[in-house]
Structure 1
């Protein structure tokens, strides 16, 4: 008597159904991803023994880490502490926090990898294509940073900054997600008149989103609000692994047709966006080729036509020398 049994799992779908019957575990508590207040509370716990600079605001970090789990947030602060230590800093600043956030999401930078000029140009236009599609589509989050430095498995990345926590995705958002995914491939085709293997992950994401729209979420008029196929990826006690096809071959052909139509329409839309902003595409790519990274503020300035290239020290000195020479000639 008086014994309370508590259990936790990340995979409730693979449990023996006998465990889930009434009287076994009387109460089930679903713990989802933390919201903004939850993330702030988690950050406070993990920041207790870490020296934080005055510019670090946990509320701000919580706002910019939508979709992070508790483990991700702990990892973020640990990575930021390591980065600060490597720079011989006494405290963690927002600079380390931002760098650690990108490291957690995308992976560590591979600065030792040398890219040829051809690869650099291809990656720059690819990421610029993604970024411009992000900017031009109403449902997409603003661009936080673009980089052509390889990280993790990626040759480069375009990182948006989520403006709010989302529980659901609308049909419009999903269609525009596919447009953004294909932006890099479209940019390669337009500028280089060729395509590369760099878009494989983008194509995989676009195809999955389109397939889910058709078979899982009932977002097409042709097939209606019906779920097609049952996912049996969970394996336990005699269940088969794979995907059960509970529809006819005729329906399967229609599903393939609709997926192709959604992806092709998204490709055409991405092509229109990039051709309408071809000057901006060249400008963003040129910036990336020169600097390798581009912050959200500079990207917005380029898109709004207000960006001015900062004058470097050597250029400033040469301009001053030229001005002095011209002034001396005038005096003579």
Structure 2
């Protein structure tokens, strides 16, 4: 009996000591085995990638589920809180808070509450300067909201949208703040970037919540700043990312009526907006907010200087003409820089020279006082800028000279500032030629004094401006006898013969201008030396000082000129060494 039991233990599968091993073979199972050889690395990478994709999918599904649970809890909490408030204080107890069952955390629209803001933050139309026409358009909207019967008695309808367009810094957001301060109706606002988030559908949900809150308090105003963030042109392959824009289109003019809600939007890029958004019925009015003209700049400067101490003799009209092309934000920054400089110097008031210094800082950069320059470089720059100034004073059609300086700022070693008599919306042929002649003045002055081989590369920007102006005259303005009244938009579409003719005419115009400037400065070579010497002594000359130098008058000596500061910074030559005078020193000795 014992022998039979022992024999049974030795049989496979009869006990733990003798397990049964099964080996499966077949073509189907062989495919699942890890390949050997060079394909083993690819098999490992593929399996790891599949594992990562599975984990990512599981994480995404889990996060979406947690988000839905959290938003549902937040919605129920907000609904319960709103019901408690309504039961204790009434339905209208909140002066502007918006609670909607459809709006979860971060979805509630922002409402402008004037009573909760400090007095300095409240703006009105009196604070808006330099854009009278744009302000009048929005004043009409505010008047419509305050007295709708005045307009509706003749069948007029409330405009649905006002689109503010213009360059950055012209006051579009300030106009919206003025509307909010004077409208007398609820004012909701959002930025275009606040609608977009990682998950698709959040933006359209916030848009629905915004208009749902606005409809409850109609008539009201909804302001969307930087609307180009959500209102760009739609493409057929990105419809899933344009749900916010589609929701905005439906809310402004869709199947459901949207009475009493005016949408005011602002953008710097109106050309990028979708055509369906700009059409009448959505944005009925497109109000351009341009750069201020000379009258507008004078008003803006007066507004920003009204609460600051100003020294006597400050010419605000000259400053308004000098800041051509500045926006309201640029002018605000200019006055602020001047005020900071006055505080740094310990002055009691802002003077004209402080504003002039701030103007150079904003336009060209900080003064490079630590720059070490040789006397030869200083004199070459002085003659270069003197050439520009003399040509600008002598050529008819050139803008008046404001000042000339050899103080380096930013990437410039010196400059001549010209101030227009008034805003130039278009310029004539004489003014174009004058700009070319003035640009040539610096290079020609260097060539007359130092020789052709000593002309520096500082004239690169001057030549670029002169060449661009010459090509503009010939290609866009038709101011050429050979080519005639021809407007050329794209030079690539022209024939080779026409291109060659354009190049010939541009080159001839520049050579002729250079010859005129050379003849002019040759006649005024003595005045050129005088202005250059005065620049070396005073480093900056105003228009009045330049005219005094040309009249033969002597200027008051400077306390410490720029050349002397550079001499102090430069290493002294060794004893016994002789320093040969340069060509500019010899030219000054000839005087």
Question: What's the TM-score, normalizing by structure 2?
Answer: 0.48
Match for residue 245 of structure 1 among 444, 468, 492: 492
Partner of residue 215, structure 1: 475
Tell me whether 1:228 sits opposite 2:488 in the alignment: yes
Match for residue 356 of structure 2 among 82, 85, 98: 98
Measure the CA separation in 1 of the matches of 2:318 and 2:298.
9
Superposition map of 1:180-329 within 5 A = 180-193=438-451, 194-230=454-490, 245-303=492-550, 305-310=551-556
Asked if the contact 2:321/2:419 (under 8 Å) is kept, the reply is no
Shift of 1:143: 1.6
Match for residue 395 of structure 2 among 137, 144, 163: 137
Classify 1:20/1:190 alpha carbon distance in 2 versus 1 (closer, same or farther; 3 Å).
Answer: farther
Partner of residue 29, structure 1: 287
144-153 or 12-21: which moved more? 12-21
Partner of residue 429, structure 2: 171
Tell me whether 1:40 sits opposite 2:286 in the alignment: no
Asked if the contact 1:229/1:247 (under 8 Å) is kept, the reply is no
Shift of 1:98: 2.1
11-20 or 219-228: which moved more? 11-20
Asked if the contact 1:109/1:150 (under 8 Å) is kept, the reply is yes
Partner of residue 81, structure 1: 339
5+ residue gaps in structure 2?
1-257, 560-591
Q: Deviations over 1:258-297 (max 9, x none)?
A: 1111111111111111111000001111111222111211
Measure the CA separation in 1 of the matches of 2:441 and 2:270.
37
Asked if the contact 1:228/1:245 (under 8 Å) is kept, the reply is no
Asked if the contact 1:181/1:203 (under 8 Å) is kept, the reply is yes
Partner of residue 213, structure 2: none
Partner of residue 107, structure 1: 365
Classify 1:293/1:27 alpha carbon distance in 2 versus 1 (closer, same or farther; 3 Å).
Answer: same
Q: Secondary structure at the match of 1:281?
A: helix
Classify 1:266/1:95 alpha carbon distance in 2 versus 1 (closer, same or farther; 3 Å).
Answer: same
* Largest Rg, 1 or 2: 2
Classify 1:137/1:14 alpha carbon distance in 2 versus 1 (closer, same or farther; 3 Å).
Answer: farther
Measure the CA separation in 2 of the matches of 1:110 and 1:207.
29
Classify 1:283/1:220 alpha carbon distance in 2 versus 1 (closer, same or farther; 3 Å).
Answer: same
Q: Secondary structure at the match of 2:417?
A: strand
Asked if the contact 2:476/2:486 (under 8 Å) is kept, the reply is yes
Measure the CA separation in 1 of the matches of 2:473 and 2:510.
11
Measure the CA separation in 2 of the matches of 1:185 and 1:73.
33
Shift of 1:23: 4.7
Alignment RMSD: 2.2
Shift of 1:65: 2.7
Partner of residue 206, structure 2: none
37-46 or 135-144: which moved more? 37-46
Measure the CA separation in 1 of the matches of 2:310 and 2:337.
13
5+ residue gaps in structure 1?
231-243, 314-332
Asked if the contact 1:301/1:307 (under 8 Å) is kept, the reply is yes
Measure the CA separation in 2 of the matches of 1:179 and 1:276.
16
Q: Secondary structure at the match of 2:463?
A: helix
Asked if the contact 1:283/1:302 (under 8 Å) is kept, the reply is yes
Classify 1:19/1:292 alpha carbon distance in 2 versus 1 (closer, same or farther; 3 Å).
Answer: same
Classify 1:17/1:270 alpha carbon distance in 2 versus 1 (closer, same or farther; 3 Å).
Answer: farther
Measure the CA separation in 2 of the matches of 1:172 and 1:165.
17
Q: Deviations over 1:196-244 (max 9, x none)?
A: 11011111111111111111111112222222133xxxxxxxxxxxxx6
55-64 or 88-97: which moved more? 55-64
Measure the CA separation in 1 of the matches of 2:390 and 2:348.
39
Shift of 1:19: 4.9
280-289 or 42-51: which moved more? 42-51
Classify 1:29/1:125 alpha carbon distance in 2 versus 1 (closer, same or farther; 3 Å).
Answer: same
Shift of 1:48: 4.1
